[in-house]
Amino acid sequence: MADWHTIIRERDFPMIEQAECDGRPVIYLDNAATTQCARPVLWALENYWRSQHANVYRGVYCLSRRAEAAVEETRQICAEFLGAASAGEIVFTGGATQSANLLADAFALTELKPGDLVLSTEMEHHSNLLPWREACRRTGAELALVPVTEEGELDLDALDRLLERRPKLLAVCAVSNVLGTVNPLREIADRAHAAGCAVAVDAAQAMRCCLPGVRELDCDFLYFSSHKVMGPTGVGVLYGSEAWLERLTPPRTGGGMVSAIREDTVLYERGPLKFEAGTPNLAGIAGLGAALEYLQAVGRRRIAKREKALLQYAEKRLRELPGLRILGAPKQRAGVLSFVAPPLQAYDIAMLLDSQGIAVRSGSHCAIPLHRRLGLSGSVRVSPAFYNTAEELDALTVALRRSLEGAKKAGVPVGENARG
């Protein structure tokens, strides 16, 4: 009898089953960048465009009311998925990057002034770093980064020292998109809150690894993208506690977020709508709702367990290869595994793998400060999802071995200098 993951791979992920490029089959191992859409998501998108497409909040007619109800239903699904207190804490955005930018802009408008301190970390994706850097630049606040240890963990002692300066906010990832480090978010949030510091969590890489609910994490904000949870691109979520959403001023204005306009004042809608100026990505929201329901139906614990096992297997196999060095040794790793094989560059390795039908990511993964900290310009990243198989990871190992041996034969001294 087939395993559950084999059944759903064949049934629900036509792209994975049929992936090919120039007539050659492709093994897709770049799920940290984007996951493939589950079949129910494709149906939801089709259904939206076929029978539901109408603008929301402005129509009294049936189709508009139906579209609005669908958006609010997805808001409720998101709230339940995240363990939020209510759907009123879910803001729809264009993805995690837009969420971080929206929050940073709102925070700059409402909370920051010259001399204030904001914290981010050395392991952030640029999308959880640059919005805060820009917010600080505009307001005269200072941005400081929590350093990363040799093992690839956040240096919590250094965090404590920074918290003594009473920062306004800490922007931190739940899982590093390069090292896979799972950060101890609850512990971090407790320390930050004790210092009067709000906590914003970039959960883009953590949504499939059984992240605890936002109330359990006790974070003030959290964001993620639909395209990393089997949903479509161009849509995501910003969670903000009700108190925070009430307090923050919306940085974007326009239609759909105003309750009244007087000559000299504007009254904004309450809750998430005040942050959703303009027409939202309605089809994307429908797809996101279907994706989260899909993950719930398959079983979030089962998915997390399966992905953890695949990642551990990948690590075991890659450690067999001489000349290859896996980055970081965090206590808990999820989602991604990055490596180097000096003096080959990440680009060389990814190209050699691509030529053998294996799709991995190479470069800085939009985390230049972390690579700088590690003394590297880039790395190769492997990120299996639950629909991948151990056989695919075996194929990756074979292709990598062939690549490294081929490079050595071509005169590249792979493995002669262990440092990358």
Among 45, 145, 209, 352, binds other proteins (CB under 8 A): 352
Q: Helix, strand, or coil here: 109? A: helix
**Pairing mode of beta strands 337-340, 258-261:** unpaired
- Does the protein bind other proteins through residue 354 (CB under 8 A)? yes
Among 80, 218, 269, 348, binds other proteins (CB under 8 A): 348
**Pairing mode of beta strands 325-326, 266-268:** unpaired
- Does the protein bind other proteins through residue 346 (CB under 8 A)? yes
User: By C-alpha distance, which of 89, 80, 93 is closest to 297?
Assistant: 80
The backbone region for 199, taken as left when phi is positive above 0, alpha when psi lies in -120 to 50, beta otherwise, is beta
Query: Is the Cα dihedral 333, 36, 314, 32 positive or negative?
Result: negative
- Please tell me the distance from the alpha carbon of residue 11 to that of residue 41, in angstroms, as a whole number: 13
Annotate each residue in 385-404 with x if it binds other proteins (CB under 8 A) or - if it does not, as one string. -----------------x--
Q: Which residues contact 408 (CB under 8 A, 6 or more apart)?
A: 323, 414, 415
Among 1, 62, 261, 410, binds other proteins (CB under 8 A): 410
Among 344, 367, 374, 400, binds other proteins (CB under 8 A): 344
- Does the protein bind other proteins through residue 375 (CB under 8 A)? no
Q: Which two tokens stand for residue 45?
A: 């998108």
Among 342, 378, 415, 420, binds other proteins (CB under 8 A): 378
Nearer to other proteins, 168 or 361 (CB): 361
Q: Helix, strand, or coil here: 154? A: strand
Q: Which residues contact 258 (CB under 8 A, 6 or more apart)?
A: 266, 267, 268, 269
- Does the protein bind other proteins through residue 377 (CB under 8 A)? yes
Judged by CB under 8 A, which stretch of 60-68, 235-243, 301-309, 344-352 contacts other proteins?
344-352
Active site residues per annotation: 366
Among 18, 60, 411, 418, binds other proteins (CB under 8 A): 411
Closest approach of other proteins to the CB of residue 377, in Å: 6
- Does the protein bind other proteins through residue 299 (CB under 8 A)? no
Q: Helix, strand, or coil here: 326? A: strand
- Does the protein bind other proteins through residue 362 (CB under 8 A)? yes
Helix (H) or strand (E) holding 296: helix 282-298
Q: How many CA atoms lie within 13 A of 182 on its CB side?
A: 15
Annotate each residue in 73-102 with x if it binds other proteins (CB under 8 A) or - if it does not, as one string. ------------------------------
Residues binding other proteins: what is the number (CB under 8 A)? 24
Nearer to other proteins, 280 or 342 (CB): 342
- Does the protein bind other proteins through residue 34 (CB under 8 A)? no
Nearer to other proteins, 310 or 414 (CB): 414
Q: Which two tokens stand for residue 175?
A: 């899982």
| Residues of this chain that bind other proteins (CB under 8 A) | 22, 343-348, 350-352, 354-356, 362-363, 377-378, 402, 406-407, 409-412
